[in-house]
Amino acid sequence: MNRSFSTFAACSGISLAALISASPVLAATLDAASKVEAVTVYPDAAQVTRIAEIDLPAGATSVVFKGLPMALDPASLRVEGSGGAPVQIGSVESRVAPVQQQPPENALSEKLRKLNGEREVTQARLAALQAKKTMIERFAQASPEKLGDKAAPMDVEKWAGAWDAVGEGLARLAEENQTLRQRLADIEQEIRTVQASNRTPAQRTQPTRDVTVEIEAQGATRSRLVLIYRVAGAGWQPLYDARLESKGNEKPVMQLVRRAQVAQRTGEDWTNIELSVSTVRAQRGTQAPDVLAQRIRIFEPRPMAMPRSATSNEMAKRADAPMVSGMVAAPAPQVVDALREERAREVEATIETGTYEAQFRVPGRIDVPTDGSQRSLRIGSQTIEPSLIVKTSPSLDATAYLEASFTNKEEAPILPGEVNIQRDGMYVGKGAFRLIAPGEDAKLGFGADERVKVTRVPVSRRENTPGWLGANKTEKQDFRTTIRNLHPFAVKVNVVDRVPISEDTNIVIEALSTNTAPTEKQVEERRGVMGWSFDLSPNASKEVRLGWQIRWPKDKQVLSETLPDGAR
């Protein structure tokens, strides 16, 4: 019967300690030959699942997972498993393993050195045979009259003996050459065999972690251990492709493709793994911070005591030192959101959603090396029928831009990320998503619409300087914005403009009676920002008038400034 068991690193193994103390037998130690089976990557970390198949003896055993990454969080360690006999997991301990030193030379290294020496001798003998063969061939090619003593011609009756000598010499050389070449091939094979058996991992330059799991088995059994831990140095960024087909009068269609750009420098390669990406941020805090009381009081500096022995120069320096005055209060604690807008196989992942997270499981198995290289994976897509509108902000840019709005109907949020924008098959630029929760509305720009023309011209501008009886200065500005539709079909238009605002009671701002009434008096809760939305027929145009008058005291000067985004 197969039995399952599990434990967390937080469980210190009290039950196992009792079992071990009751047993007189010392625990055996086994090295777990494990491999990474699955990884879930968060935007700022990763959860790694390692598998080890081991044969456990009866009794207590210390199973050691060696060479795990230093970035491993010991508090996240969890051990699960199953076996054919009752097995109990006790303590889980993580230790830092020092950097490996260069391994000492062993017998295999000595044998390899001898083989290399024999190879050099054999190669030298082959070279000598080749030189001897060259000399014999040169002798055979010489004319008979040069072969006799004192350069006298050789007797004819000796020619046959010379020929036999040359032939026998070449035959013996060929036989020796074949023997030496065969021996050289054998030496090469032996060297390769020794090198393979003596191959050691590259020397580490960084420490690693060894995790020891104490296990008690009631009987010898084959067990499967699962080690799960969280590790830093990994993450993924969302990327998106948005492809819009406007199709004129037909309903527009937008294809939104999600991608995950995964990279890791954890110190361990992920080879042939099951990969998932999650929207949960593992490094974020788990609860809201406590808000402490804040007190404001009048600052009362203590009088500075002057030493009697101070010199006149020292007293002058102290007199020149800046004094603290006014009201001082410690800033209230603030929480900075860790969300950052980050850049985000065409095989698509399956989505698994929970109450508080979404997880995309990539089909098949992939490799993610630990060198920081980025792996782009397609994790989802959806077809959307967006609402299109032509939007313009003429006070800043007299250009009409096509904007698509839609509702996120997926169970997963759209995370902040960069969007590659295509319109009717053409790349038009890059956009960006903010965080969009399921059910929340989203907007995405698709570039300039050259067939909607926008012009903004001043109708009048007047500034009055007060006379000697006048108390105020006045300034009046009036603008006309004209929008013309050159499409052969009707379009929806949204014009966004602004009038200045004031928080000073001495500055009075009044809207002109000639203004076109806005359909939205306050856009996105921004004071002074208003909008006009309307349908514009083919070849039709519409005007929007907007103006104001400002009055302020003649002895004052006014300054215009743009409030930062988020200011209300």
Encode the chain (568 residues) as per-residue pLDDT tens digits. 556 656 654 443 333 333 334 444 457 889 989 999 999 999 889 999 999 999 989 889 999 999 999 989 999 999 988 878 888 888 899 999 877 655 555 677 778 888 888 888 888 888 888 877 777 776 666 655 555 555 556 665 666 666 677 777 778 888 888 888 888 888 888 888 877 766 555 455 678 899 999 998 888 888 899 999 999 999 999 999 999 998 766 789 999 999 999 999 999 999 999 999 998 876 666 676 777 766 656 566 766 555 454 444 444 444 444 333 333 333 333 333 433 344 433 455 565 555 556 788 888 899 999 988 999 999 889 999 999 999 999 999 999 999 999 999 988 889 899 999 999 989 999 999 999 999 999 999 999 999 999 999 999 877 776 655 567 888 899 999 999 999 999 999 999 999 998 888 888 999 999 999 999 999 988 889 999 999 999 999 999 999 999 998 888 888 887 877 766 5
Q: Are 482 and 541 in contact (CB under 8 A)?
A: yes
Q: Are 13 and 90 in contact (CB under 8 A)?
A: yes
Question: How buried is 500 (Cβ within 10 angstroms: 0-12 exposed, 13-18 middle, 19+ buried)?
Answer: middle
- Cα 265 from chain centroid? 10
Return the C-alpha torsion angle 22, 28, 34, 38, nearest 10: 0
- Cα 19 from chain centroid? 45
Q: Are 427 and 528 in contact (CB under 8 A)?
A: no
Q: Are 411 and 231 in contact (CB under 8 A)?
A: no
- Give the span between the Cα atoms of 484 and 493, in whole angstroms: 10
Q: Token pair of 332, please? A: 């209230």
Q: Token pair of 521, please? A: 């008096």
Sequence-distant (6+) residues with CB within 8 A of 77 are 8, 9, 92, 94, 211, 227, 228, 229
Render the burial of 7-41: b for 16+ CB within 10 Å, e for the rest: bebebebeebeebbeeeeeebeebebebebbbbbb
Check residue 105 and give its pLDDT.
55
Q: Are 243 and 255 in contact (CB under 8 A)?
A: yes
Check residue 449 and give its pLDDT.
93
Check residue 151 and give its pLDDT.
55
- Could you report how far apart the first and last alpha carbons of the chain are, in Å? 67
552 C-beta neighbours (distance < 10 Å), count: 18
Check residue 20 and give its pLDDT.
39
- Give the span between the Cα atoms of 185 and 301, in whole angstroms: 93
- Give the span between the Cα atoms of 515 and 548, in whole angstroms: 9
Bridge partners of residue 433, in order along the sequence: 417
Sequence-distant (6+) residues with CB within 8 A of 414 are 238, 240, 408, 433, 435, 436, 442
Q: Which run of H or of E encompasses 133?
A: helix 107-141
- Give the span between the Cα atoms of 341 and 347, in whole angstroms: 25
- Give the span between the Cα atoms of 29 and 66, in whole angstroms: 12
Check residue 122 and give its pLDDT.
87
Residue 427 vs residues 159, 376, 421: alpha-carbon distances, Å: 90, 20, 6
Show the domains of the chain with their CATH numbers. 3-100+203-231 (no CATH), 110-197 (1.10.287), 234-281+341-448 (no CATH), 452-553 (2.60.40)
